[in-house]
Chains A and B, each alone.
Chain A
Amino acid sequence: MSLLEVRDITMRFGGLTAVDGVSFDVREGEIFAVIGPNGAGKTTLFNAITGVYEPTRGSVRFRGSQVRQNPDARLVRRTLVVGVTGAISTFLALNSQEIWTAAIGANYLLGKPFPWQQALADAWATARAVPAVWGVIPAIVGGVIGAATVLALWQRLRRTPDLIARAGLARTFQNIRLFTDLSLIENVLVGMDSRLHCGYWTNLLRLPGFLGESKRSTAEAMDLLAFVGLADRAQSAAGSLPYGHRRRLEIARALASRPTVLLLDEPAAGMNPSEVTSLMQLIQRVRDRGITVILIEHHMKLVMGISDRIVVLQYGKKIGEGTPQEIQADRRCIEAYLGAEDEL
């Protein structure tokens, strides 16, 4: 079984079809390249795979399942809870003064013990006596809030990038998106977030477990920085890195989640030949760690040098698939690149 099955992915933006019915399979442990002229829909395809966009049509299966939260009973329960809470709080907001006066104002005398049961009973009686009209408004408000929750939750049910990342697909971006004001090591630690367990209260109160995890994660992040050759600047801001190093940091950040699949969007863009060579080595070392790599790239030396299989896109459609040798022999694929790329 293949690791990632992309089936009939179609992305439309208004009238524009950026990706049109693309299907392919990625096998475990291979380096898989997506190539094609500018505007062929490669990045859009990546965005559909990683959940940044919801595809107009088609599916992406990872280890045989669509990464998606199931609309189970939890949705119904939450909607109910939120709706009822909304209704009750609206009711209280509209009638709070009367209820408060009846329950507390009338029962409380300074210095005397407060009759809690009496107060509750009075509050209940006052609430019961509220005219029906004032009951309708809370019901409506509760309904509206409940509906809004359904809307919000429904949006959460789509394939969101965070769920996909947690399932084991990590990515980099074409126009590098680092956290520029955070240090290098913090960038990597953010990438590691999905594997860390310390929650809010542990962090706040420094409960047991905090120190251990923080030591372990920092050490691991330093290892990753060393892996991409940036360990010596671990404490400086990511924004201060030169361009070529930023790509490496982005890769380290993506690797920090220990992904099954790493998606690289034009990792060699803007690099000089020596940087490209070391990037090729880096990608191969990543694969040797057992990580499947999918990359978009224009740099043909890199693509042909390290890919196991290649998919060629043009105008959003797949026009070829195969090993580097097969692609280099395919006339359609060569034509697609003629003029656009002279490196082939």
Chain B
Amino acid sequence: MKKRLDSMELDFFLQQLITGLSNGMIIALIAIGYTMVYGIIELINFAHGDLFMLGSFLALTVLGVLGIDAWTGGGTWLGVLLLLLSSAAFCAGLNWSIERIAYRPLRASGKLSLLVSAIGASFILVNLGLFWGGLPLDVFAGGVAAAAPKDFPPLVPNTNLLGEDSLVQLTPKDLLVLGVTLPTMLALTWIVTRTRLGKAMRATAQNPVAARLMGIDTDRVIGATFLIGGALGGFASVIYALYNNTISFQMGYRAGMDAFTAAVLGGIGSMPGAVAGALVIGLVRAMSDGYLETRWTNTIVFGILVLILIFRPSGLLGSRAKEKV
């Protein structure tokens, strides 16, 4: 009896671990978008979470228009790929445009004006999400209740890969998350460390004036950063929607807050840090949901954040630059 209980506890723990890691990886994709933008223009891009939200609305629209949920077999995976690509392209383009319209003209006028502009952009995106939910499409339930959460059809099955008897659930959804995030992050690492663009990005992040003097078109580099960050947000939005099967125009706030917290926890500006921070937050959330009470989860997440920052004031993987005196 005792032994059985132990194995059940272990199962439960493993389950929370899987859930936590999957959610953590989704957060990581969003967090990278925050951390990249922060690294290069020191802006907390408030609109990023809502960009992510719009990405999922686009995915649902594409899905509805093309009737992807009716596709079967290999078609499903093709559909998922299509959603990923369209959502990434959309978010990248939107992010780039926001930078162009709302941020670039303000870059010279200080961090806080930029921040307010980002807040403004965030409000606009939320409102667009609300309107979008009112589209008269079947996938939006005819658009009658625009503000209501929308069901996202379960394209990816929820079957247990570990067998029907196993108490631990490892589903194709978890694999999808892994299958999208891991290659994306590897590709991103490659871009940042190996390509000309990546070098230009790092140079601009370190010293924009010097970078410009060295002939780097910093405007273009910043634009590219927003493109990449947006694309990652687009990926995240699709896998989030497929993982949770419900989306709402208000979800950008929660996702954005988690992701931003992750970016700060890992050391803002550091990409590996953002991933580490996101995994920590995903895990803490899952463990707190599982072992304590869900209603205290936010408190625990932020409590842990504060404790970590007290002991490591620059985040887990951040390095504190010494001020030149």
Q: Confirm or deny: B311 has a beta carbon within 8 angstroms of a beta carbon on chain A.
A: yes
Which residues of B have CB within 8 Å of A47? 325
Which residues of A have CB within 8 Å of B325? 43, 47, 52, 173-174
Q: Confirm or deny: A130 has a beta carbon within 8 angstroms of a beta carbon on chain B.
A: no
Which residues of A have CB within 8 Å of B307? 144
Shortest C-beta distance, B48 to chain A (Å), equals: 31
Scoring A residues 45 to 64 as 1 if CB is less than 8 Å from chain B, else 0, what string do you get?
A: 00100001000000000000
Scoring B residues 262 to 300 as 1 if CB is less than 8 Å from chain A, else 0, what string do you get?
A: 000000000000000000000000000000000000000
Which of chain B's residues has its CB closest to A174's CB?
B325
Which residues of A have CB within 8 Å of B324? 175
Scoring B residues 296 to 325 as 1 if CB is less than 8 Å from chain A, else 0, what string do you get?
A: 000000000001001100000000001011
Which residues of B have CB within 8 Å of A13? 322
Which residues of B have CB within 8 Å of A125? none
Which of chain A's residues has its CB closest to B307's CB?
A144
Q: Confirm or deny: A148 has a beta carbon within 8 angstroms of a beta carbon on chain B.
A: yes
Which residues of A have CB within 8 Å of B311? 148, 151
A321 to B11 alpha-carbon distance, docked (Å) = 74
A175 to B323 alpha-carbon distance, docked (Å) = 12
A173 to B325 alpha-carbon distance, docked (Å) = 7
Shortest C-beta distance, B308 to chain A (Å), equals: 11
Which of chain B's residues has its CB closest to A53's CB?
B325
Which of chain B's residues has its CB closest to A44's CB?
B325
Which residues of A have CB within 8 Å of B310? 148
Question: Which residues of chain A (160-182) have a CB below 8 Å from chain B?
Answer: 173-175
A13 to B311 alpha-carbon distance, docked (Å) = 21
Question: Which residues of chain A (173-214) have a CB below 8 Å from chain B?
Answer: 173-175
Which residues of B have CB within 8 Å of A175? 324
A13 to B321 alpha-carbon distance, docked (Å) = 12
Which residues of A have CB within 8 Å of B322? 13
Question: Which residues of chain A (17-55) have a CB below 8 Å from chain B?
Answer: 43, 47, 52
Most buried by A among B307, B324, B325: B325
Which residues of B have CB within 8 Å of A43? 325
A343 to B307 alpha-carbon distance, docked (Å) = 56
Shortest C-beta distance, B271 to chain A (Å), equals: 23
A23 to B310 alpha-carbon distance, docked (Å) = 37
Shortest C-beta distance, B267 to chain A (Å), equals: 19
Shortest C-beta distance, A3 to chain B (Å), equals: 23
Shortest C-beta distance, B105 to chain A (Å), equals: 23
Which of chain A's residues has its CB closest to B322's CB?
A13
Which of chain B's residues has its CB closest to A13's CB?
B322
Shortest C-beta distance, B310 to chain A (Å), equals: 5
Which of chain B's residues has its CB closest to A147's CB?
B311
Which of chain A's residues has its CB closest to B324's CB?
A175
Scoring A residues 143 to 164 as 1 if CB is less than 8 Å from chain B, else 0, what string do you get?
A: 0100010010000000000000
A144 to B324 alpha-carbon distance, docked (Å) = 33
A43 to B310 alpha-carbon distance, docked (Å) = 30
Shortest C-beta distance, B236 to chain A (Å), equals: 34
Question: Which residues of chain A (75-126) have a CB below 8 Å from chain B?
Answer: none
Shortest C-beta distance, B313 to chain A (Å), equals: 11
Which residues of B have CB within 8 Å of A148? 310-311
Scoring A residues 272 to 291 as 1 if CB is less than 8 Å from chain B, else 0, what string do you get?
A: 00000000000000000000
Which of chain A's residues has its CB closest to B303's CB?
A141
Which of chain B's residues has its CB closest to A52's CB?
B325
A144 to B307 alpha-carbon distance, docked (Å) = 9
A235 to B324 alpha-carbon distance, docked (Å) = 30
A174 to B310 alpha-carbon distance, docked (Å) = 32
A22 to B17 alpha-carbon distance, docked (Å) = 56
A52 to B325 alpha-carbon distance, docked (Å) = 8
Which of chain B's residues has its CB closest to A43's CB?
B325
Shortest C-beta distance, A54 to chain B (Å), equals: 12
A173 to B323 alpha-carbon distance, docked (Å) = 13
Which of chain A's residues has its CB closest to B310's CB?
A148
Shortest C-beta distance, B231 to chain A (Å), equals: 37
A50 to B244 alpha-carbon distance, docked (Å) = 57
Scoring B residues 124 to 164 as 1 if CB is less than 8 Å from chain A, else 0, what string do you get?
A: 00000000000000000000000000000000000000000
Which of chain B's residues has its CB closest to A149's CB?
B310
Scoring B residues 154 to 190 as 1 if CB is less than 8 Å from chain A, else 0, what string do you get?
A: 0000000000000000000000000000000000000
A47 to B323 alpha-carbon distance, docked (Å) = 12
A52 to B324 alpha-carbon distance, docked (Å) = 11
A174 to B325 alpha-carbon distance, docked (Å) = 7
Which of chain B's residues has its CB closest to A144's CB?
B307
A49 to B83 alpha-carbon distance, docked (Å) = 62
Shortest C-beta distance, B124 to chain A (Å), equals: 32
Which of chain B's residues has its CB closest to A47's CB?
B325
A13 to B322 alpha-carbon distance, docked (Å) = 10
Shortest C-beta distance, B55 to chain A (Å), equals: 38
Shortest C-beta distance, B148 to chain A (Å), equals: 34
A334 to B324 alpha-carbon distance, docked (Å) = 29
A144 to B322 alpha-carbon distance, docked (Å) = 27
Shortest C-beta distance, A282 to chain B (Å), equals: 23
Residues of B within 8 A of A (CB): 307, 310-311, 322, 324-325
Task: List, sorted by A's number, 7 A–B pairs whose CB atoms are closer than 8 Å.
Answer: A52-B325, A144-B307, A148-B311, A151-B311, A173-B325, A174-B325, A175-B324
Residues of A within 8 A of B (CB): 13, 43, 47, 52, 144, 148, 151, 173-175
Extra contacts, 7 of them, besides A151-B311, A175-B324 (Cβ < 8 A), are A47-B325, A52-B325, A144-B307, A148-B310, A148-B311, A173-B325, A174-B325
9 smallest CB-CB distances across A and B, nearest first, come from A148-B310, A47-B325, A52-B325, A173-B325, A144-B307, A43-B325, A148-B311, A151-B311, A174-B325
